[in-house]
Structure 1
Amino acid sequence: MTDITQDLLLGGRVHLAQPAKGHRAGTDAVLLAASAPVKTGDVVVDVGAATGAVGLMAAAREKDARFVFVERDPDLADLCRRNCRDNEVRSGVVVADVLDRSSRQAAGLMPDSADLVLTNPPFLEEGQVRISPDRGRAAAHALPAGALEAWLKACTGLLKPKGRLVLIHRADRLAECLEISGRWLGGMELRLVHPTSDKPAIRFLLSGIKGSRAPLAVLPPVILNGPDGRFTSEAEALHRGEANLL
């Protein structure tokens, strides 16, 4: 991996080395991190971490937690380790395929061990769309056919009883994610993300508590852009690390 950029997130509070091409951290990572209820002493697992943007931004709010970054691409995992050092985050970086139980076990990812799991799963599945020829972009964007259930099951399996899963996904996968997550999670909170106030949602944020039986709550939406095409004041504050969605 040769072309690396040095970027700043949350108004400069997070330094991120990431590939110049392929999948790069952006608004989805900002929103997911802003929805992470990290507390002192928590074990927080960032699944599908890439270079660590989500976990690093969550750590910027609460450094007295232990962060575990799970990434299957060794090159991205190396960048994640570098980013953890540069940001002085207490962490471990695990190279593992979350869809493969033996890979998880070999890497030391133990069931019922996390207080909080954060994940931005690949949005698409093979066979649904044409996959990018760029290896990194393809891996970040597409799961094997039918693998979303396995991904969410694996994430939930890492949680302690009453631990919380928080995920972001495309709005058109909402029904599927609610159905799958509802098998193991309760007390779910749903927040839709709209590009502008008059356009349909493009993303959703969903969180839930392992083993809870509490009902679903629908939270106020996030509107990213105003009529002028610029970030709303809320979106700007989220990107600068001056607000969160908790």
Structure 2
Amino acid sequence: MSETTLEITQDLLLGGRVRLLQPAKGHRAGTDAVLLAAAAPVRPGDVAMDVGAATGAVGLMAAARVPDARFVFVERDPALAALCRRNCRDNNLHGEVAVADVLDKASRHDAGLRPESADLVLTNPPFLEEGQARISPDRSRAAAHALPAGGLEAWLKACAGLLKPKGRLVMIHRADRVAECLAILEGRLGGMELRFVHPAADRPAIRFLLSGTKGARAPLTILPPVILNGPDGRFTPQAEALHLGEAALL
């Protein structure tokens, strides 16, 4: 699928601070991307990688807060990568876009992604693996939501491998896979911080944010949860501030 065959929309994120071109159909950036970017501890001068970037929403929102870092967007779909380049230009960000399959070592190498080269890796891995659920017939949506069997472990190991010593990984995923992710990252990251995301205060978590430092030994910390909606169904003040770019989860 080429960029020219996509039906494209332009959306405004963080109260209009970020303009995002993205496909009208298939996987689209939303609250998960907002939360992941809000939890990104980007520092000036960092090499920050958005792995599985699609059209770049997470990295662009993180860059809106700390533009004085080097942002690298990693995306395997050439059409989405092309849109990511356009989004970088439209948002005046000199970001680098690497067209690479993060699960393939040769692909990462050919795209210039070297081991232990990132200070920060941000990632929202596809939520499903083959055989776990019915996969969407829409090719782009299926690619964004599903990995091959065992793909989550390979994905997270690759992300950890891209980190420099003391570099930090921040990820968001479905709440029902938290134990699996913690097990995969055990021994690779330490000082892990876990924060659950609930649709409402009286409902179970649907997502978690997890961060950790490569080579650290500190124990796991459970941080206060994020509650997205109040009793009236509207965003809570915190969720509203996060979506407007007026707050962070740091």
Q: TM-score, normalised by structure 2?
A: 0.98
Map of 1:95 onto structure 2 = 99
Task: Confirm or deny that 1:80 pairs with 2:90.
Answer: no
Aligned partners of 2:190, 2:133: CA distance in 1, in Å?
A: 32
Task: Confirm or deny that 1:209 pairs with 2:219.
Answer: no
Deviations 1:111-140 (A, max 9, x none): 010000000000000101110011110000
Which among 222, 226, 237 is matched to residue 226 of structure 2?
A: 222
Task: Confirm or deny that 1:64 pairs with 2:68.
Answer: yes
Structure 1 stretches of at least 4 aligned residues deviating more than 4 Å after TM superposition: none
Aligned partners of 1:134, 1:83: CA distance in 2, in Å?
A: 24
Task: Confirm or deny that 1:150 pairs with 2:154.
Answer: yes
Map of 1:16 onto structure 2 = 20
Contact 1:65 1:90 in 2 (8 A): no
Where do 1:147-226 residues align within 5 Å?
147-226=151-230
Aligned partners of 1:99, 1:47: CA distance in 2, in Å?
A: 11
**What residue identity is the alignment partner of 1:57?**
M
**DSSP 3-state at the match of 1:18:** strand
Aligned partners of 1:99, 1:122: CA distance in 2, in Å?
A: 12
Aligned partners of 1:142, 1:225: CA distance in 2, in Å?
A: 28
Aligned partners of 2:186, 2:17: CA distance in 1, in Å?
A: 35
Aligned partners of 1:46, 1:14: CA distance in 2, in Å?
A: 16
Contact 1:67 1:92 in 2 (8 A): yes
Map of 2:10 onto structure 1 = 6
Map of 1:243 onto structure 2 = 247
Contact 1:45 1:70 in 2 (8 A): yes
Aligned partners of 2:76, 2:169: CA distance in 1, in Å?
A: 20
**What residue identity is the alignment partner of 2:10?**
Q
Q: CA deviation at 1:183?
A: 2.4
Contact 1:63 1:90 in 2 (8 A): no
**DSSP 3-state at the match of 2:113:** coil
Give the fraction of aligned pairs with identical amino acids, expressed as a percent. Answer: 80
**DSSP 3-state at the match of 2:229:** coil
**DSSP 3-state at the match of 1:45:** strand
Deviations 1:178-213 (A, max 9, x none): 111112000000000000000000000000000000
Give the length in aligned residue pairs.
Answer: 246
Aligned partners of 1:116, 1:2: CA distance in 2, in Å?
A: 31
Q: TM-score, normalised by structure 1?
A: 0.99
Task: Confirm or deny that 1:121 pairs with 2:125.
Answer: yes
**What residue identity is the alignment partner of 1:189?**
E
**DSSP 3-state at the match of 2:41:** coil
**What residue identity is the alignment partner of 2:190?**
G
**DSSP 3-state at the match of 2:217:** coil
RMSD of Structure 2 on Structure 1 (CA): 0.5
Aligned partners of 1:183, 1:34: CA distance in 2, in Å?
A: 26
Gapped regions of structure 2 (runs ≥ 5) = none
Map of 1:25 onto structure 2 = 29
**What residue identity is the alignment partner of 2:49?**
V
Gapped regions of structure 1 (runs ≥ 5) = none
Map of 2:144 onto structure 1 = 140
**What residue identity is the alignment partner of 2:54?**
A
Task: Confirm or deny that 1:232 pairs with 2:233.
Answer: no
**What residue identity is the alignment partner of 1:159?**
L
Deviations 1:53-78 (A, max 9, x none): 00000000010000000000000000
